[in-house]
Chains A and B, each alone.
Chain A
Amino acid sequence: MSLRRRDFLKLTAAGPVAFAAAATLPTSAHASPAPDNAFDDAYGVLVDTTFCIGCRKCEWGCNEANDVPRRARTEFDDKSVTTVHRRPDATAYTVVNQIAAPPETPQPVYAKVQCMHCNHPACASACIVGALRKQPEGPVTYDAWKCIGCRYCMVACPFQIPGYEYAKALQPRVMKCGFCAERIIKEGRKPACVENCPNEALTFGRRRELRSLAHQKAVASPGRYLDHLYGETEVGGTSWLYLTGVDFARADLPPLGSRPVPELTEKIQHGVFKNFVPPLALFGLLGLVMASQHSGENGGK
């Protein structure tokens, strides 16, 4: 049972009425900003599923570019695996699935799945040591050296993206697409998957330009796309954006509201710890009670 946006808002509105304890949930300047088009000048990718032919060349490029178990080039020629629902995992940062086929649609429809690189990533908010970070350039990156392996990021991710190297007794890593951060930031190149895409299903660029490109496409080809650019507002916006002609849920893009996922926990945390006033106030209050009890005792004797 998942929460829809309306329920979620109802919760956040109704909850505080329930308990005085909820007085510790004030809005805070530290909490995530409201959904906006932050990171609009950062990098992003527009995925146009209507141009995807399911060739798996993005998977191959990803496999070559990243520190995952190397696979033979020929393995990626097997297109039959796309008809089985696959998810990214510790061995593949991205996978392509067939999400619709004739007779429902004239042509088979494919969608690539990978980390969405949220503007307000829940994984990074959850991470106990800051191993996961939203870079100003757009990518959400992972620093294995810091990681303690608690897997709270996996609990937090609304897209269920991070995989884990459970088989390793030593140095297991959280495994997810890093948007080829080194490559795009330092080398000025496109991500490996985008570079390998033969059919312009993937467009790399500034998020702002990608948004307007998406809207131009929708206007230019009426009926081709659903009237929704997925990732524009979802969970406060994502660096990766999706256009599709069929239900997004089938492309492993769950229906999500526009509030950043970690907004509530950050509000609670920063409310409870606002300048350390609430904990110190509790400490002082308990101290006063203790002192009054003891003085009462002495007075009584």
Chain B
Amino acid sequence: MSEHAVPMRSPYFTRGTLAVLAVAVVGISVYLGRMTFGLQTFTNLNDQWPWGIWIALDVATGIALAAGGFTSAALVHIFGRERYHSLVRPALVTAMLGYTFAVIGLLADLGRWYNVWHPILPSMWQGNSVLFEVGMCVMIYSGVLYIEFVPIVVERFKGRVDLPGVLRALNRPIEGLLRLAEATLSRFISVFIIAGVTLSCLHQSSLGTLMVIAPTKMSALWFTPVMPALFLMSAIAVGFPMIIFESLISSRSFRMAPEMNLLSRVGRIATFTLGFYAVAKVVDLTIREAWPLAFAGGSQAIMFWVEMIVGILVPLAMFASPRVRSNPRGLFVAATLTVAGVAINRLNVFLVAYRPPFSDRSYFPTFYEMLLTAGLIATLVLIYRAIVMIFPVIAAPHGTADDRSAAENDRRAA
């Protein structure tokens, strides 16, 4: 490998990081407020609208955007495309944090969040429930993601465990533990990788089955028995653009040259995955004869076109153009639109398409709901930054800030 993952070196706090920190602090305060005072004080949820943006964005979109973890693992480890190796670790960390924060977001929405572990008890297993399957898969897959992260921890600390003071006695046991983890995982890691991809296919699609239980409440613009297939396809379609999106932000943040050679190729893959999803959506709408609804006006039709044009067709056209793909800015815009498109799709499916039969108001999130969602994203970004600065996650190409600072250190030492 010409490129090797290294911990990023940069001051942790920059002006941007501080702004993100402010959003995180506000969001966490709202979170604590919600846990103390209940849902009514902080949300616009009611009997007509039992689900809001905490489900549509924090949980459903969060999990969809974490799909880069399994798509990159499948591409590199299962289909053997080694050239994309450097994308796997950043995507893995994104997925690990994405799932963690989807669960943290879910807890804010659950009335009895302290019972969230109940589905584990065999006495409460409910095999008919789509949500039960989603919950179990998400739980197991989160565990798999953490296990897949262990080799990165081993690589960082093996032979370097050096705790200070009284903790020094723990150095040897921890060292032994790392070696044991390495020895065990090197034999079984492929099992975890395949399990991760299988579990992802299961619950990414099942998230799409959730709203299939409310056929009479859903607009036919989105309600389809193949919604699970569409959700899986869109998760696969957004996986690579999400990787591009993050890679370009990371290289800017850490002052590295963007890995355009690789990212352009990923953009080409996205043309196919997104194109496949777009065709599937159009075929589905055509077979179900749902197009008249798209021209019926109203907020549902508007949101449908925003999703289709801004979130699917425009980024698809951009990814399809080699000129756009070779330009960091073009690639970034295409990736961002794809990410936004999937977020809009999840909002549409869970909120816009949903029409309670007896309704005297519509749902719009409170400022608190939005602040909490923003705060969770901000906290995730802060932890991601810390992880890539502590652990070898991001591959540093030659001539990067990291190499330069290393060279500087050498000079100083000399």
Contact = CB atoms under 8 A, between A and B. Distances in A.
B47 A163 contact: yes
Interface string A9-36: 0111011111101100100001000000
A254 interface: yes
A163 B226 CA distance: 30
Interface residues of A, number: 78
Contacts, number: 241
B197 interface: yes
Contacts of B38: 166-170, 172
Contact of B215 (A147, A261, A294): A261
A289 interface: yes
Contact of A160 (B116, B213, B218, B358): B358
Interface in A150-190: 150-152, 154-156, 158-160, 162-172
Interface stretch (B77-85, B92-100, B331-339): B77-85
Given A269-B209, A273-B133, A89 B47 contact: yes
Interface stretch (A43-51, A60-68, A120-128, A203-211): A120-128
Contact of B118 (A3, A11, A146, A162): A146
Contacts of B135: 128
B309 interface: no
A129 interface: yes
A237 interface: no
A11 B213 contact: no
Nearest to B77: A290
B245 interface: no
Given A130-B125, A158-B214, A264 B225 contact: yes
Identify the interface centre among A158, A290, A296: most chain B CB within 10 Å of its CB.
A290
Contacts of B110: 148-150
B225 A16 contact: yes
A51 B340 CA distance: 55
Given A125-B128, A269-B130, A3 B112 contact: no
Nearest to A125: B128
A149 B115 contact: yes
28 contacts: A11-B215, A11-B225, A125-B129, A128-B119, A128-B135, A129-B126, A146-B124, A147-B111, A147-B115, A149-B113, A150-B110, A155-B354, A158-B217, A160-B47, A164-B47, A165-B111, A166-B38, A166-B39, A168-B111, A169-B35, A261-B214, A268-B228, A272-B205, A283-B195, A286-B74, A290-B77, A294-B80, A297-B80
Given A127-B126, A155-B51, A155-B210, 9 more contacts: A11-B288, A18-B224, A130-B124, A150-B111, A155-B211, A156-B214, A158-B357, A279-B198, A290-B190
